Structure 1
Amino acid sequence: MAAGNAPLGLASLVLLAGSIVMIFFVILAGVKDTAPLNKTYFLQADTSGISGARAVSQWTYFYVCGPDNTDCSKAYAAMPFRTPWADDASGVPDGLNSNYYYLMWRFGWVFYLIALFFDVCAFFAGFLACCGRLGAALSGLIALTALVFYSVAVSLMTATFVKARNAFKDNGHDAKIGTYAFGFSWGAWGCIFIAVILFFIGVRGNHDGGRRGWRRRRSVRSHASYDVGGRRVKDDYS
């Protein structure tokens, strides 16, 4: 990415920075009672009919909380979906204690962290994108890796909690997915996706510019050779 294409690198850095902030909003949901952390959750459901569960449960990245992410449980790493109630609790909607939800959210949890790691790496590598084509290519590859892992993470999150919401509703429980968590998650995905495109546009633009410059130099040399040849021919006829 040549100096003329530096705005592409800067735009990619801004997008990656935005994606990192939004992912942290999701991960830190429930840590403090401040906006938007107190409004960010994956699923809110009426769990009053389930033995051992609170009246309303909100699933966040590390906690199960009450309304507005208050009265949260202790933090869990790779928290199982059925954390709000015991394994033998009664009144649980069909299927929510199955291994499907247990594994889907655990894998989603892990892929979030992996994606965040590569997203941060892509951000710092992005400063090299303003220095040349190699830096842009390296940044693009790292950002693409982050995009792959993050695509898996948000897909698992979406499938898990949309199906869980439907299971609660089918059992007569009020439930809704979290607008903030889904908005931040897919917004971050969009930022990474666009940043990847901009990085690779920078690589291609620099390459095409080099090719055009080589063609111009070649054309000038050919023209000069023709002129010299023309003068030699005219000398012969004189």
Structure 2
Amino acid sequence: MAANGIRAIVAMVLLAGAVVMTLFVFLAGVTNTIPFSNTYFLQSETQGITGARQVSQWAYFYICAPGNVDCSGAWPAPSVGWAWSSGAQGVPAELIGDYGNGTTSMYYYYMWRFGWVTYLIAFAFAVFALLGGFLACLGRLGAALSGLLAGFSLFFYTIAASLMTATFVKMRDVLQANGHPSSIGQYGFGFTWASFACVFLATIIFCIGVRGDGSSSMRRRKSTRSSRSRSSIGSRRVKDDYA
């Protein structure tokens, strides 16, 4: 029981870390204080594109200038092309299209839309697994439930992090190839993949908890065999006394 409790606490700490780091990603653009001001997925010089800022940063809910100033309004699943005007001139052909009010190509529109929503699902399951971790302190059944929830969270974190990475790394390459110096956001990528790692480790720990304390079980089995052996010896001695 004590071992299960320690494992559950470690897993809960990892899940809490994943939840906090994901909140940093979600809240990027809300304020200009650190780490929020440094949390974005992509930064690019967009000067020369119709309706764009001189430098644009793509975050989870917002598109801002550096330092989280001159931000767009908060919007769920914002199209990456909202950094510029509809039908803008100077946008690389791979990025612009008929989606997002004529600002975004189909590939980037759906890649980021699905990436955006899988973040939310992964975050929700991570919170449920964190709350369920209290049950994991009590025994194997609680560990199984928490492990299942953490496993679902891990599945969606994998999709979210992969789609985010594919979207913004490819977007960076396209912008740079067309004369717009760009760089990926170290904080945005770091928080995302660190959250994935924390949930991955928590899932493994919960699964270990489902097996229980193997050493304790072995000691119980040895104790039972020893008791049976002593009982058998005692029975033979009684028989010998009456023989």
Is 1:162 aligned with 2:161? no
Number of equivalenced pairs: 235
Question: SS in structure 1 opposite 2:224?
Answer: helix
Name the % identity: 52
- Give the equivalent residue in structure 2 for 1:65: 64
Alignment partner of 1:122 is 2:126: no
Distance in 2 between the 1:129 and 1:73 partners? 43
Residue 53 in 1 paired to residue 60 in 2? no
Alpha-carbon spacing, 1:42–1:71, altered in 2? closer, same or farther (3 Å): same
Q: What SS does structure 1 have at the residue aligned with 2:145?
A: helix
The CA deviation at 1:231 is: 4.5
Equivalent residue number for residue 26 of structure 1: 25
**Structure 2 unaligned blocks of 5 or more:** 97-104
Alignment partners' CA distance in 1, 2:240 and 2:135: 53
8 A contact 1:165–1:177 mirrored in 2: yes
Give the Cα–Cα distance (whole angstroms) in 2 for the partners of residues 57 and 194 of structure 1: 35
Unaligned runs of 5+ in 1: none
The answer to whether the Cα contact below 8 Å between 2:4 and 2:136 also exists between their aligned partners in 1 is: no
Distance 1:208 1:144 in 2: 26
Aligned to 2:92: 93
TM (normalized to structure 2)?
A: 0.90
Q: Is the 8 A contact 1:3 1:131 kept in 2?
A: no
Paired residues for 1:76-115 under 5 Å:
76-97=75-96, 98-115=105-122
Q: Distance in 2 between matches of 1:172 and 1:32?
A: 30
Deviations 1:116-172 (A, max 9, x none): 111111111101111111111111111111111111001100110000000011111
Contact 2:3–2:213 at 8 Å: present in 1 too?
no
Instruction: Spell out, residue by residue over 1:164-211, the C-alpha distance to the aligned partner (whole angstroms, 9 max, x if none).
Output: 000011111100000110111111111111111111222223356335
- 1:214 corresponds, among 208, 213, 221, to 221
The one-letter amino acid of 2:110's match is L
**Residue 140 of structure 1: which of 143, 147, 155 is its match?**
147
Q: Aligned-residue CA RMSD in angstroms? A: 1.7
Q: Distance in 1 between matches of 2:229 and 2:85?
A: 82
Aligned to 1:5: 4
Instruction: Deviation per CA, 1:53-78: give whole Å up to 9, x if none.
Output: 11111101111100112110111111
Is the deviation greater in 207-216 or in 155-164? 207-216
* Length-normalised TM-score, structure 1: 0.92
Query: Counterpart amino acid of 1:169?
Result: Q
Contact 1:15 1:192 in 2 (8 A): yes
2:190 matched to which residue of 1?
A: 183
Name the counterpart of 2:181: 174
